[in-house]
Amino acid sequence: MTAIKALIKAQSEMGKALKNSSNLHFKSKYADLSSVVDATIDAFTNNGFAVLQPCDSDDQGNFVETILLHESDVKFNSKVYLTLSKQDMQGLGSAITYARRYGLLGMAGIAPEDDDGNASIPAKKNSFKEGMDLAWLDSIKDSLPTNYSSTTLAIAVAKQLCVDFSNYKTVKGLDGAWNKRKIEIERLKNHDQNLYDTVIDAFENKHNELTERKVA
């Protein structure tokens, strides 16, 4: 069997990745890495594929590469670049887990069970900045090249949101920051689901950290 036929057969055998983890702020569910692995790995291996997910870097940044290596020596691969919610090992670990999860989903060609269709709705042209806090946005744009793209701006917005969340010392302050930036977060969701998920992870990690600190 050729590698491409084996991949088609593997994808046809996969189930959907069950949403088995909770999104703290929206009280919804999403598929974590273990669910994605459970939904894909048997179909891949039964059809002659080894799955590798090494970390590497290039001139665009650090990334996780998802590699499907077929027994015929044919290789399929994709990259997911890392956007850290905070500059420490926890932030790095979260980014790698996220990249592995979406790398596998992408190579498998499957979506989480009952996935939110909003992620597949293309953003309207020039709508990314609509309704945002212009003063806050201008402070971010100052660090960008003159001819920046909407994708470059979206990445910068996501990074700034992650930094902003990491600086809060109380749950009340953090929740207030979320409410203040609802529009910006919603624009990210419609523009790039990956960046949106990174911001959600940053918020939830900080929220959990502050909650545990308060209990202790």
pLDDT, one tens digit per residue, over 169-212 is: 998 898 888 888 888 888 887 777 778 888 888 888 888 888 88
Q: 48 — alpha (psi -120 to 50), left (phi > 0) or beta?
A: left
pLDDT over 80 (residue 155): yes
Domain coverage including residue 28:
1-115
Contact of 66 with 83, CB cutoff 8 Å:
no
Residue 145 Ramachandran class (φ > 0 left, ψ -120 to 50 alpha, else beta):
beta
- 3-state SS class at 68: strand
Per-residue model confidence (pLDDT) at position 26: 43
Query: Are 162 and 127 part of one and the same domain?
Result: yes
pLDDT reported for residue 113: 45
Question: How confident is the model over 161-166, as a mean pLDDT?
Answer: 90
Residue 190: closest CA among 127, 100, 108: 127
Residue 33 has pLDDT above 90, yes or no: no
Domain end position, chosen among 82, 115, 148: 115
Residue that terminates a domain, selected from 115, 146, 172: 115
Identity at 85, one-letter amino acid code: S
Considering the domain architecture, whether residues 130 and 108 belong to the same structural domain is answered as: no
Q: What is the per-residue pLDDT for 65? A: 94
Residue type, 157: V
Q: Residue holding tokens 């090992």? A: 89
Give residue 19's pLDDT: 52
Task: For residues 111 and 126, state if they share a domain.
Answer: no
**H-assigned helices in the chain:** 3-13, 33-46, 89-108, 134-141, 150-166, 171-180, 182-191, 193-215
Distance CA 85, CA 197 (A): 10
What confidence score (pLDDT) does residue 123 get?
41
Q: CA dist 26 to 82, 122, 178, 184, 189, Å?
A: 24, 22, 12, 16, 13
> What are the tens digits of pLDDT across the range 62-112?
899 999 999 999 999 988 888 776 677 877 888 888 888 888 888 887 765
- pLDDT tens per residue, range 100-147: 888 888 888 776 543 433 333 344 444 567 777 888 888 888 878 777
Place of tokens 């969340």: 165
Inform me whether the pLDDT recorded for 23 exceeds 60.
no
Are residues 79 and 138 located together in one domain of the fold? no
